[in-house]
A and B are shown apart, each in its own frame.
Chain A
Amino acid sequence: AQSVAQPEDQVNVAEGNPLTVKCTYSVSGNPYLFWYVQYPNRGLQFLLKYITGDNLVKGSYGFEAEFNKSQTSFHLKKPSALVSDSALYFCAVRDIKAAGNKLTFGGGTRVLVKP
């Protein structure tokens, strides 16, 4: 079975400060990992993914994430947060050993960036 945990329901950060959104995962094999962002009344927008290779993945809108196999984590980061980054963020995992092609999502973390 594959699962994802996002331990923080909400993260508050001041504009211009670094932003980190935490994600840990559990899979039986090796993981494919994804981050999506959801704005109000809109669908999920893809930010970045880790498939293989460099543990530091760079994505859209200045976001990056670091894959840490020993800690089974894939935290999302942005060096300098913007007010427009305020949204709901979802981490997702796909176990390469599992049948099918489904993503398993975490419960989401709401990010609030204050001016």
Chain B
Amino acid sequence: GAGVSQTPSNKVTEKGKYVELRCDPISGHTALYWYRQSLGQGPEFLIYFQGTGAADDSGLPNDRFFAVRPEGSVSTLKIQRTERGDSAVYLCASSPQGRVDTDTQYFGPGTRLTVL
């Protein structure tokens, strides 16, 4: 079946601009996660949705970052007033139920964001 998909695969923007990154989870998965992977590092957690609600947004670095999942499926990560330090690969993952004891998170290919 189809895996997690993310669009666009690459995004180049200028400092100060607004960007939106989209994630389509695996069909039927109720839990959705966003991570950020900087060059040479492991992914870092940003936010976790269970259904439509953000169950844990403790990883969002500041209020320029915001994410939504209005219908409990597709999610959009929004970054306002982008800064060069926001340049990274943004990874989305989904899991069937969000159960911490059994769920496996399945990752998409990522969106590479470059802020000039």
Contact = CB atoms under 8 A, between A and B. Distances in A.
Query: Do they bind each other?
Result: yes
Interface of A: 4, 32, 34, 36, 41-46, 49, 51, 90, 92, 94, 96, 99-108
- In the complex, the 10 A-B pairs of residues with the closest C-beta atoms, listed nearest first: A105-B42, A100-B56, A102-B45, A44-B107, A43-B107, A43-B109, A105-B43, A107-B42, A43-B108, A101-B100
Given A32-B100, A34-B104, A43 B110 contact: yes
A7 to B, nearest CB: 14
B48 A102 contact: yes
A32 B105 CA distance: 12
Contacts, number: 70
Given A32-B100, A43-B91, A100 B55 contact: yes
Contacts of B59: 102
Interface in B20-58: 31, 33, 35, 40-45, 48, 50, 55-56, 58
Contacts of A106: 42
Contacts of B109: 41-43
B66 interface: no
Contacts of A51: 101-102
B48 A46 contact: no
Nearest to A94: B100
A108 B109 CA distance: 17
Contacts of B42: 4, 90, 92, 105-108
